[in-house]
Structure 1
Amino acid sequence: MISDMLQKENVQILDCVTDWQEVVYISTKNLIDQGYITGSYPKKIIELTEKHGAYYVLCPDVALLHARPEDGVIRRQLSVTLVKEPVTFKGKSDTVRLIITIAAEDSQSHLGALQKIAEIISSEDRIKSLIGINDAEKLYEEFVSVQ
């Protein structure tokens, strides 16, 4: 369940960022500060992006940032960052505004949350609704209300 992995303080809305690297660092900062991941996690995401492109851009407007558990995950957790001005990631033509970061301790414990995320982003109308939200608490509620 998303509610098991997403804390309210890990949902944020930004007006803009300078580039995709900055959004990776901003999207992971709370997770680092709270001890869910180490500083090596965002660095690994950036390194993998430089090598393979933005493998985590799932569809227009949505990215699911992640690396492997051994790349700095301490405890499983999610963060959600909404950027009002779209971001272009390396090697992708689709722009992104909704960035979901997942820190998974293993290959299994986060699968329920991933299934719920897939439900959330499977509808273009729902994505449009999410990116139109201007309040972080409302964005949080939209994610955790998916049963």
Structure 2
Amino acid sequence: MGLPPLPDAAVTLGATAPAWRDALRLAGGALVASGAATDAYTDAMIGMVEEHGPYIVISPGLAFAHARPGPAVLHDGLSVVTLETPVAFGHPHNDPVRVVLGLAVAGVGSHLESIGEIANLFNDPTVTGRIAAATTADEVRTIMGVSA
């Protein structure tokens, strides 16, 4: 299957977020801007962290925001937000976060596959820093190996 495409509308570089909820609103807003999800999906991503804690901070500097498949997902989508100033999510080891990925997946089977592919991508510890330093959407796509 591969990762969903990453259109320009789904990439926000050098953003400012005063707190983690704002960072997730940026990632969710990028999914909405690209047509992958509705605002309700952004609320669901925030709700997952409120309910389960900062488990989405999967490695140093990287948050991987997602929620369950449902009617708020219009089609599979990926978003990338880099933050000018890192934000704390409350994770004991991986804070602060500089890169927030948003993932919206329409089906349960592809949901797990996409999560696995993203985990594999970030097994390389240099990827988060390279994305954080990217200055264009094309550069982010090249690093992640995804299409527009």
Which consecutive unaligned segments of at least 5 residues does structure 2 have? none
Partner residue in 2 for 1:42: 42
- Using a 3 Å threshold, how does the CA distance of structure 1 residues 114 and 44 change in structure 2: closer, same or farther? closer
Partner residue in 1 for 2:144: 143
Give the conservation status (yes or no) of the 8 Å contact 1:40–1:72. yes
Pairwise CA RMSD of aligned residues?
Answer: 2.2
- Using a 3 Å threshold, how does the CA distance of structure 1 residues 15 and 106 change in structure 2: closer, same or farther? closer
Identity score, percent = 26
- Using a 3 Å threshold, how does the CA distance of structure 1 residues 14 and 29 change in structure 2: closer, same or farther? same
Distance in structure 2 (CA, Å) of the matches to 1:76 and 1:145: 13
Distance in structure 1 (CA, Å) of the matches to 2:34 and 2:26: 14
Give the conservation status (yes or no) of the 8 Å contact 2:86–2:96. yes
Give the conservation status (yes or no) of the 8 Å contact 1:5–1:113. no
Give the conservation status (yes or no) of the 8 Å contact 2:11–2:30. no
Residue aligned with 1:5, SS: coil
Distance in structure 2 (CA, Å) of the matches to 1:34 and 1:55: 25
Partner residue in 2 for 1:129: 130
Partner residue in 2 for 1:16: 16
What's the offset of the Cα at 1:123?
1.7
Residue aligned with 1:108, SS: helix
- Using a 3 Å threshold, how does the CA distance of structure 1 residues 25 and 71 change in structure 2: closer, same or farther? farther
Residue aligned with 1:9, SS: helix
What's the offset of the Cα at 1:145?
5.4
Give the conservation status (yes or no) of the 8 Å contact 2:21–2:46. yes
Normalised by the size of structure 1, how large is the TM-score?
A: 0.84
Stretch moving more, 125-134 or 53-62: 125-134
Q: Which residues in structure 2 correspond to 1:59-78 (within 5 Å)?
A: 59-70=59-70, 72-78=72-78
Partner residue in 1 for 2:27: 27
Distance in structure 2 (CA, Å) of the matches to 1:114 and 1:36: 16
Give aligned pairs, total: 144
What's the offset of the Cα at 1:15?
4.2
Distance in structure 2 (CA, Å) of the matches to 1:111 and 1:52: 18
Distance in structure 2 (CA, Å) of the matches to 1:75 and 1:81: 19
Residue aligned with 1:142, SS: helix
Which consecutive unaligned segments of at least 5 residues does structure 1 have? none
